[in-house]
Structures are given as structure tokens and as C-alpha cells.
């Protein structure tokens, strides 16, 4: 286990996916926060910043790609790695163009997801 647990923020509008990912990531020793609201990301400030963000491309009322663009424009959040995920086939290219550091397609293999997250955390 890491000496200081890394904080991961998971953003998805599906509560079942949030619960599943929270359980899996906490079992790996991460501190996990979840939210269904994309607006939450726009209110992140120093002190409470996560070490990594796992963000759905399509959120109710918000486009995750716009959120990534916003985060990457802000000095206090631009350094945080963001991995986006989506079931939509063309989402990877647009997610990367928006500034996402990584992308994984849904449904994803949990071992692949954990390996990719470990690269950043």
C-alpha cells in the first residue's frame, strides 16, 4: 500500500457505475470521492484537489469534454491527470482533443483500468 493514499475523483451520472468503481478503487487502497454532477469539478480548489480524475464523456446536462477543457485551462487543476470513459465509439478522439490524458472504452476490463490508473497515481 502507498505511504499516502492517492485521491481519485470519479464523475459519472450513473450511480451504479459510481458505486462499482468506488468499491474497486478503495480495495486497491485509493481514497475515492464520487459525484454525479459535472459542476462539482468546476468548484475544485487547492487542498481538496484529487490526484486523478476518472470522468465520463457524457453527463446529464454537461459534456465531460467541456469540463476537461475547463480543468486544463485552470492553473490549479491543469496538472491533474484526467482519464475519460465512454461507450460511444468516436469518443476517444474527441476526449483526447479536449485535453484528456487517457481514455478507456466502456465496458472496460477492471484490470486494464487499474493498470492504467496506476500509471498516474
Q: What residue ranges define each of the domains in the chain, with the CATH number in brackets?
A: 7-120 (3.40.50.2300)
**Confidence at 119, pLDDT banded by 50, 70, 90:** very high
> What does the block give as the cell for 53?
480524475
Rounded to two decimals, what is the model's pTM? 0.91
> What does the block give as the cell for 73?
485551462
Q: How many CA atoms lie within 13 A of 39 on its CB side?
A: 3
Give the tens place of pLDDT for each residue, 28-47.
Answer: 999 999 998 877 766 666 56
Q: Are 56 and 98 in contact (CB under 8 A)?
A: no
Task: Output the pLDDT for position 46.
Answer: 57
49, with CB counted inside 10 A (0-12, 13-18, 19+), is: middle
Task: Output the pLDDT for position 1.
Answer: 46
Instruction: Please give the mean pLDDT across all residues of the chain.
Output: 90
- Look at residue 93 and give its three-state secondary structure: helix
Amino acid at each position: 500500500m502507498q505511504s499516502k493514499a492517492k485521491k481519485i475523483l470519479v464523475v459519472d451520472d450513473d450511480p451504479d457505475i459510481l458505486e462499482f468503481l468506488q468499491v474497486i478503487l478503495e480495495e486497491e487502497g485509493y481514497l475515492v470521492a464520487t459525484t454525479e454532477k459535472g459542476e462539482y469539478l468546476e468548484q475544485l480548489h487547492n487542498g481538496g484537489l484529487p490526484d486523478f480524475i476518472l470522468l465520463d464523456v457524457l453527463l446529464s446536462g454537461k459534456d465531460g469534454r467541456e469540463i476537461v477543457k475547463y480543468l486544463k485551462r485552470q492553473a490549479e487543476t491543469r496538472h491533474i491527470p484526467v482519464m475519460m470513459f465512454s461507450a460511444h465509439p468516436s469518443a476517444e478522439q474527441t476526449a483526447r482533443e479536449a485535453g484528456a490524458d487517457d481514455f478507456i472504452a466502456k465496458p472496460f476490463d477492471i484490470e486494464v483500468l487499474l493498470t492504467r490508473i496506476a500509471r498516474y497515481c
